[in-house]
Amino acid sequence: MSVVLDGSELLSGSGSWLDKERTIAGPGFNRWLVPPAALAIHLCIGMAYGFSVFWLPLSKAVGLTAAQACPADMSLLIELFATNCDWRISSLGWMYTLFFVLLGSSAALWGGWLEHAGPRKAGVVSALCWCGGLVISAFGVYTHQLWLLWLGSGVVGGIGLGLGYISPVSTLIKWFPDKRGMATGMAIMGFGGGAMIGSPLAAELMKAFASATSVGVTQTFLLMAAVYFIFMMGGALGYRIPPSGWKPAGWRPPAGTSNAMITQHHVHVSKVWGIPQFWLVWMVLCMNVSAGIGVIGMASPMLQEVFGGNLIGVAKKFGELDKAQLGAIAGVAAGFTALLSLFNIGGRFIWASASDKFGRKWTYVIFFVLGGLLYASIPASAAAGSKLMFVAAFCIILSMYGGGFATVPAYLADLFGTQMVGAIHGRLLTAWATAGIIGPVVVNYMREYQLGLGIPREQVYNQTMYILVGMLVIGLICNLMIRPVADKWFMTPAELAEEKRLAHDRAVANDVGSGPGSGGTTPKLLVVLAWAAVGIPLAWGVYRTLLSVSKFFN
C-alpha cells in the first residue's frame, strides 16, 4: 500500500504516517533494525554531554581574539540581555543544568503520551525540539543574546532530550524480551557516545567557519542541526513496534516462579508514585548517578592537582608548575577524560548485557560494593603516587556509572512489566535531574571548602571520596530492600485491555504501509546498511577519542 501525505494527514490522528498503528511490524521483520534506529537518535542528543566544546569560543564571541569581559558587578539577569561584552563560562555552564533538569521533567511529563503515541511520533518531536533548539541557539549567538541560547538548546532542546532519550526504551524491551539489558544498553550507549562524535566534529567545524568577524559557532550550530535532523528523522522513521504478544522464534517466557523479581503483569504509570519499589529504584539511580556525575566534571582538574608535575616526569606539585608545564599536564588530563568517556560508553553495553545473566538487583549490588571500595581506595592511591591504581579505579567507576543508566530500564521492566515501562522510566529520570544537582554541588563545594581550610590541593578530594562512598552505601541499602511488587498494584485484565486499546496495540500488522515493516523477510543488506549508518560515525568518534587517550599514555 502506498502512503500519501498531506498537511492535514500529518497533523491528524487517523491514517497519519506518524500513527503508532502504522509502525507495527509485519511478519519477517528483522528486530535488529530497531537498535540502529534508536542509536541514530541517541548519538545526536548525546551531544548534550559535549556542549562544553562551545564554551571557550562563546566566551570571546565579542572580543574574538580575547574575551571582552562584562563588568564584575553585572548580575546574571543583566548578562542574559547584554550585547556589548562576552559571556562568562560559568553563565554558559548553566546550560548543563537546563539540559538535565528539562530531560528529566519532560520525560516524566510526556512519558505516558509516548506510550500511546508511539516511538515514531516521539522521535519526530524530539528531532524538531533538539534541532530546532540548535537553530534558536544559533540566532542567539548571532544576536548575542544569552537568554536565547538558554531557551533554544537548554529548554526546547532539553525537551527534545527527554523525549528522544525514552523514545526507544519500551520498544526495545518488547523486541528483546530475551535480552532486555543488552537491548537498552545498545541504545543508551549511544547517548554516552554522542559527545565522542559531536565534540570533535564541532571543533573542526568551528575552526573551518572561524573568521575575522566570527568565532564560527553560529554556522556550526546550523550545520549540526541539519545533520542531526537527518539522522534523527531517519531513526524515528526506522522505529517499528512488535505486534501485541510477539515473541522471538523459539523463545518462551520464563515460568513465573523462576525469578520472583521478573513479573508477568503490568503496572499503570499513574500508580508508580505510590509504589515503594519505585522510590527505592529512584534512590538507587540517584545515588549511583550522583557519585559518578560528581567526579566526571572534576576528573581533569582532580588528576592535575593530585599528581601535578609527576604526570610529565617533573617532581613538582601543581602550584609550583610554570605555564608551559601546566599546559603539558592539561594535555595529559584531556587524554584521561577521553579514556573515562570510553569506559562510560563501554560500560553501558557491557554491564547492561551482564545484567541479563546476573539479574538487575545483583548487578547494582556489584556497582555499589565495588564502587564503594574503589572510591575509598582513591585517597590511598593518590597518597602513594600510584597513577595506575588511581586511573584504573576511575575507569571502572565510570563504567558502572554508565552501566547504571543502561541497566535501570530493564530493572523497571522486571518489576513493573513492559506495557508502560517507557512512561515509568520517564518518571524515574527525575532522579537523574536531582543527581545532576547533588553530585556536582557536593564535589565542587567540598573542594572549595577544603581549599579554604588550607589543605594542600593534592588532598582536597579525600573527604569528598568518603562522602561519595556514603552515597553508594545508601544506594546499596535501598537496592537490597527492593522486593517484588505486590499484586494490588498491577492492572486487572480489564484495565490492561483498556490500556492496550489506548496504546493502539494490535495483535497483527494491519494497514502498516509499504517498506520493511509491512511483511516479508527483511533484506540482510538493509540491516547491514542501518548498522553502518550509525557504526561508521561511532567508529570515527572512538578513533578521535583514542587519539586523545594516546596523549595520556605518552
Q: Please count the other Cβ atoms lying within 10 Å of the Cβ belonging to residue 338.
A: 20
Mean pLDDT on 244-269:
80
pLDDT band at 265 (very low <50, low <70, confident <90, very high): very high
Could you tell me what percent of the chain has a pLDDT over 70?
Answer: 93
Q: Residue 239 and residue 143: Cα distance in Å, rounded?
A: 38
Mean pLDDT on 197-204:
90
**pLDDT 10s digits, 101-124:** 899 899 999 999 999 999 999 999
Could you tell me what percent of the chain has a pLDDT over 90?
Answer: 51
Mean pLDDT on 491-511:
78
Q: CA geometry: angle at 48 spanning 43 and 54, to 5°? A: 120
Grid look-up 551482564 returns 354
pLDDT band at 528 (very low <50, low <70, confident <90, very high): very high
pLDDT confidence of residue 352: 95
**Residue 554 pLDDT > 80, yes or no?**
no
Q: Is 325 helix (H, G, I), strand (E, B) or coil?
A: helix
**pLDDT 10s digits, 369-410:** 999 999 999 989 988 888 889 999 999 999 999 999 999 999
Q: Residue 520 and residue 290: Cα distance in Å, rounded?
A: 47
For the chain, the maximum distance between any two Cα atoms, rounded to a whole number of angstroms, is 74
CB 251 within 8 A of CB 442: no
Give which of 87, 86, 214, 98 is closest to 153, Cα–Cα.
98
pLDDT confidence of residue 507: 63
Q: For the chain, how many residues are written?
A: 554
* More confident of the two residues 458 and 181: 181
Residue type, 365: V
Average model confidence (pLDDT) across the chain: 87
Least confident window among 216-230, 499-513, 522-536: 499-513
- Domains and their CATH numbers in the chain: 16-248+500-548 (1.20.1250.20), 260-491 (1.20.1250.20)
The torsion angle over the Cα atoms of residues 518, 519, 520 and 523, rounded to 10 degrees, is: 40
Q: Residue 327 and residue 551: Cα distance in Å, rounded?
A: 13
Q: Distance of CA 453 to CAs 95, 442, 450, 457, 459, Å?
A: 31, 16, 5, 11, 11
Report the predicted TM-score, pTM, of the whole model to 2 decimal places. Answer: 0.87
**Residue 483 pLDDT > 80, yes or no?**
yes
pLDDT confidence of residue 254: 67
Q: Residue 123 and residue 235: Cα distance in Å, rounded?
A: 8
Least confident window among 22-31, 220-229, 467-476: 22-31
pLDDT confidence of residue 436: 80
Q: Residue 157 and residue 154: Cα distance in Å, rounded?
A: 6
**Residue 212 pLDDT > 90, yes or no?**
no
Give which of 192, 196, 173 is closest to 416, Cα–Cα.
173
Q: Distance of CA 435 to CAs 181, 310, 460, 471, Å?
A: 22, 33, 22, 11
Q: Residue 335 and residue 207: Cα distance in Å, rounded?
A: 21
pLDDT confidence of residue 516: 44
Mean pLDDT on 411-439:
92
pLDDT band at 206 (very low <50, low <70, confident <90, very high): very high
**Residue 520 pLDDT > 80, yes or no?**
no
Three-state SS string across 66-116, please?
A: CCCECCCCCCHHHHCCCCCCECCHHHHCHHHHHHHHHHHHHHHHHHHHHHH
Chain centroid offset of residue 329 CA: 29
Give which of 170, 61, 149, 40 is closest to 99, Cα–Cα.
149
pLDDT band at 3 (very low <50, low <70, confident <90, very high): very low
Q: Residue 522 and residue 31: Cα distance in Å, rounded?
A: 9
CB 238 within 8 A of CB 171: no
Grid look-up 568517556 returns 341
pLDDT band at 341 (very low <50, low <70, confident <90, very high): confident
Residue type, 387: K
Mean pLDDT on 478-504:
92
DSSP 511: S
**Residue 87 pLDDT > 60, yes or no?**
yes
Q: Residue 268 and residue 432: Cα distance in Å, rounded?
A: 22
pLDDT band at 258 (very low <50, low <70, confident <90, very high): low
